[in-house]
């Protein structure tokens, strides 16, 4: 019996150690209207806060206007971007690498929002799948870039949101990489994107994510 008890004890200890090593399952995701908490499925709108910067080995381009429209399910699935634009004060974005940035292959389907909070930081992430945009270089050469963009997401009441003075949900990317899809040898193989957007429903209601 003593041997049996030792076996049981060792087995229990091993199971406990394994449980400590295996991370807990991700919390479920609910997109809801803030502050009511009513689950929300439908149209969403992202509006640029400040500037968006696209940088490559040739230099950078800056845009101060960008709007994305799309739809999402209340469980955070099926984020679809139906329209997206980048401009600077109503004209082309300014900088070395680009005079015009044109979005392509819309709608961008297959994205999602996931509630996975980090203490002292984000509340979750938002992924735009199949992002694709064409940049026109100063020499008239066009380069197309694409990929999946994942941004940190912050609820309206999160004190760590990138722009504290804006009381809306926010999504922010910093140096997210997009790769060249097409273009000549003068086109850099990749570029990075940095931008922060406020996120609302299509009608301007505040949104939040939770479990």
**Beta carbons within 8 Å of 14's beta carbon, 6+ residues apart:** none
Q: How far apart, in Å, are the Cα atoms of 110 and each of 8, 74, 124, 149, 166?
A: 47, 15, 17, 12, 28
Q: What is the pLDDT of residues 108-128, one digit of tens each?
A: 999 999 999 999 999 999 999
pLDDT at 95: 81
pLDDT at 113: 98
**Alpha-carbon span 102 to 180, nearest angstrom:** 14
Q: What is the pTM of this model?
A: 0.85
pLDDT at 14: 35
pLDDT at 98: 60
* Residue labelled with tokens 């199949």: 130
Residues of the chain with pLDDT under 50: 1-26
Q: How far apart, in Å, are the Cα atoms of 142 and each of 21, 55, 99, 108, 151?
A: 49, 15, 10, 21, 26
Answer whether 128's CB lies under 8 Å from 174's CB: no
**Alpha-carbon span 98 to 152, nearest angstrom:** 26
pLDDT at 140: 77
């Amino acid at each position: 019996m003593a041997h049996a008890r030792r076996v049981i004890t060792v087995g229990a200890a091993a199971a406990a150690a394994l449980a400590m090593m295996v991370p807990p399952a991700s919390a479920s995701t609910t997109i809801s209207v803030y502050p009511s908490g009513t689950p929300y499925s439908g149209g969403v709108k992202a509006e640029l806060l400040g500037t968006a910067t696209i940088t490559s080995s040739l230099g950078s381009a800056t845009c101060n206007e960008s709007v994305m429209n799309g739809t999402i399910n209340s469980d955070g699935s099926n984020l679809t971007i139906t329209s997206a634009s980048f401009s600077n004060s109503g004209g082309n974005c300014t900088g070395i690498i680009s005079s015009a940035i044109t979005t392509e292959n819309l709608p961008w389907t297959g994205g999602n929002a996931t509630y996975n909070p980090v203490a002292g930081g984000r509340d979750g992430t938002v992924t735009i799948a199949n992002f694709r945009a064409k940049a026109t270089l100063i020499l008239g050469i066009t380069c197309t870039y694409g990929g999946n963009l994942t941004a940190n997401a912050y609820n309206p009441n999160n004190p760590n949101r990138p722009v504290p003075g804006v009381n809306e949900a926010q999504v922010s990317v910093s140096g997210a990489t997009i790769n060249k899809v097409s273009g000549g040898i003068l086109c850099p193989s990749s570029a990075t994107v940095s931008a922060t957007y406020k996120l609302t429903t299509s009608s301007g209601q505040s949104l939040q994510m939770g479990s």
